[in-house]
């Protein structure tokens, strides 16, 4: 009988137990969320060479502090564990003031951010809009003529950006027989993929009877389509766009990566992996109105429209995510919380968050390996946790 390997001791299972069929399940996701490229095809997004990350900023002094999130007070450490947190980076006033990592994640490791990928993709869209390359009010068919036979035939790019396409599709994460499972196969995220590309799948989707623009409907294929729209508008691959327009100007220290399908199409709806520090840098750039390192990256007007003034509150009120942010709105793949501090955020399944509070000048990046894709009660508690952190630091 042999002893446990170092891998098994750290993660609680053997590497050969992690499969394409189970990589998003607990406990395997504690490892797979940091190692997407070992399971599905990915493409790199380079950072500037020679970047050096500043040392870990210890927040152990906060871990014992009590927060009242779900009634009875609990410590910060207890909540991080209860919410399956893998990494937490907190910035205030433009400086990193704290990092925390679970025992199974190292400082400097990449972690998949799932649907925060949508928020990063929209930043690239905002940059191209500012350059006059991309028109958010154009019909989808202006860039993708072959979308004429799909739900997008009479949709605008704005509908795609704001998740208000009247799309006959459900985010049925756990149903293996659903159209969502077919979607996952097209992304090569589930067994059985490779017979239908992501683009081909998206262009088979049909619309509901309701007009576009009336209801906020969270439908991930919209955001993969956004990546294709950006490629068509610019004539460049998305990985190159993200590198040249966002990652290098941002001053990202570490290489990012993004999942790709059988045709090399980037999974812009949910396939990006980055380090916690670099994700926090994205949030700080947004907090600074679109600038980083003294350089303008995205137009200030776009940032303000995305995080403050834009969004259709009526469409949000009719949507399914109203309980999370009762006074919220959604614009350009970012959530406006409607909270007093004007916080806004990007959110990904399994507990990925990029939370920006302009009033307190706080940016929080939280990466997690929650057992289920969506946990609505826990999401509400996580927002309360962020608000508590704002008051503590």
Q: Which of 358, 325, 355, 327 is nearest to 341 (CA)?
A: 358
Residue for token pair 């993660």:
11
Q: What is the 3-state secondary structure (H, E, C) of 297-338?
A: CCCHHHHHHHHHHCCCHHHHHCCCCCCCCCCCEEECCEEECC
Catalytic residue from among 32, 83, 115, 254: 115
Strands (E), 144-290: 256-259, 272-274
**Cβ(284)–Cβ(301) below 8 Å:** no
| Cα–Cα distance for residue pair 344/329, rounded to 1 Å | 9
The dihedral over CA atoms of 194, 175, 269, 54, expressed in degrees to the nearest 10, equals -100
Cross-strand pairs, 354: 346, 365
| Cα–Cα distance for residue pair 94/295, rounded to 1 Å | 15
Say how far residue 150 (Cα) sits from the centre of its chain.
26
| Cα–Cα distance for residue pair 272/282, rounded to 1 Å | 13
- Angle 291-296-297 (CA atoms, 0-180°, nearest 5)? 85
Residue for token pair 């000048």:
361
Q: Which of 236, 229, 216, 310 is nearest to 268 (CA)?
A: 229
Q: Active-site residue 254, yes or no?
A: no
Q: What are phi and psi of 78, to 5 degrees?
A: -65, -40
Pairing of strands 352-357, 344-348: antiparallel
Tokens standing for residue 279: 């994700």
Tokens standing for residue 206: 């049909």
| Cα–Cα distance for residue pair 278/255, rounded to 1 Å | 9
How far, CA to CA in Å, does 22 sit from each of 16, 67, 192?
11, 34, 14
Catalytic positions are 115
């Amino acid at each position: 009988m042999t002893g446990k390997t170092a891998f098994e001791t750290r993660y609680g299972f053997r590497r050969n137990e992690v499969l394409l069929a189970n990589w998003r399940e607990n406990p395997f996701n504690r490892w797979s969320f940091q190692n997407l490229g070992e399971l599905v095809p990915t493409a790199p997004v380079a950072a500037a060479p020679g970047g050096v990350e500043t040392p870990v900023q210890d927040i152990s002094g906060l871990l014992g502090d009590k927060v009242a999130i779900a009634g009875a007070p609990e410590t910060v450490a207890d909540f991080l564990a209860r919410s399956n947190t893998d990494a937490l980076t907190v910035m205030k006033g433009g400086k990193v003031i704290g990092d925390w990592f679970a025992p199974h994640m190292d400082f400097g490791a990449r972690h998949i951010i799932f649907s925060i990928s949508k928020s990063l993709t929209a930043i690239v869209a905002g940059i191209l809009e500012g350059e006059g390359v991309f028109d958010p009010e154009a019909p989808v068919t202006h860039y993708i003529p072959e979308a004429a036979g799909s739900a997008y035939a009479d949709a605008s790019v704005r509908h795609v950006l704001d998740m208000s396409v009247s799309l006959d599709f459900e985010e049925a994460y756990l149903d293996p027989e659903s159209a969502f499972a077919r979607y996952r196969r097209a992304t090569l995220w589930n067994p059985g993929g490779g017979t239908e590309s992501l683009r081909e799948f998206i262009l088979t989707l049909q619309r509901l009877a309701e007009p576009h623009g009336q209801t906020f409907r969270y439908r991930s294929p919209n955001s993969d389509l956004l990546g294709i729209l950006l490629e068509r508008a610019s004539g460049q691959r998305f990985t190159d766009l993200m590198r040249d327009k966002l990652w290098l100007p941002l001053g990202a220290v570490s290489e990012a990566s993004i999942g790709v399908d059988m045709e090399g199409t980037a999974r812009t709806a949910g396939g990006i992996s980055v380090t916690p520090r670099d994700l926090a840098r994205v949030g700080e750039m947004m907090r600074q109105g679109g600038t980083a390192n003294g350089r303008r990256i995205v137009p200030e007007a776009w940032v303000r429209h995305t995080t403050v003034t834009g969004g259709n509150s009526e469409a949000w009120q009719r949507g399914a995510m109203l309980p999370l942010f009762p006074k919220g709105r959604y614009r350009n793949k970012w959530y406006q919380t409607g909270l007093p501090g004007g916080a806004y955020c990007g959110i990904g399944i399994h507990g990925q968050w990029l939370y920006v509070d302009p009033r307190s000048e706080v940016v929080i990046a939280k990466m997690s390996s929650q057992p289920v894709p969506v946990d609505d009660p826990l999401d509400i508690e996580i927002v309360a946790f962020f608000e508590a952190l704002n008051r503590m630091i």
